[in-house]
Structure 1
C-alpha cells in the first residue's frame, strides 16, 4: 500500500514537470493532452499561488508543489517507520 502511495506521488510529480515544460510550448498546452495535464495540475498549484514565487519572469510554483509532495512523501515514510 505504501509503495502505491509513493508511486502515485512520483507520478504526480512528473505530471507537474510536464505541465511546466508545456508552458514553454503554448501549442502543446492547447492540445488535448495539454488540457488534461492542466486540469490535473492547476487545482493543486493554485494552493501555492498566494506565495511570492515569481521572480524575474520565472514562476517557481511548480518547484514549490513538487517540493511539498516530496516532503509529504518523506513525512509518510517517517511516520510509517515509527509505527511499524
Structure 2
C-alpha cells in the first residue's frame, strides 16, 4: 500500500510541474503576461528546468522554441523511470 502512495505522489507532483510548464508556455502568447506576478512566479519555478534544454536546443528560425516540448518529454521519462524504480524497490515489478 505504501508503494502505491509513493507512486501516486510522484505522479501527482510531476503532473503539477508539467501543468506549470504548459501554463508558462501559454503565457508567452500574451503580451507582457510573463511580467505579471503569475508569470514571474512561474518563471522562477520553471525556467531553471527549461533552461537546461535551451542551452542545447536553439529556437527554430529564431522564433519557435522547442525546449519546453523536449522538457515535458524528458519529465515524462523521469516519471516512468521513478515509478519503475519504486516498483522494483517494493517488489511490484
Larger Rg: 2
Query: Which consecutive aligned stretches of 4+ in structure 1 deviate over 4 angstroms post-superposition?
Result: none
Higher RCO by CA contacts (8 Å cutoff, separation 6 or greater): 2
**RMSD after superposition:** 1.3
Gaps of 5+ in 1: none
The structure richer in strand per residue is 1
> How many residues in Structure 1 have an aligned counterpart in Structure 2?
84
How does the TM-score come out when normalised to structure 1?
0.89
How does the TM-score come out when normalised to structure 2?
0.81
1:16-31 paired onto structure 2 within 5 Å: 16-31=21-36
Gaps of 5+ in 2: 1-5
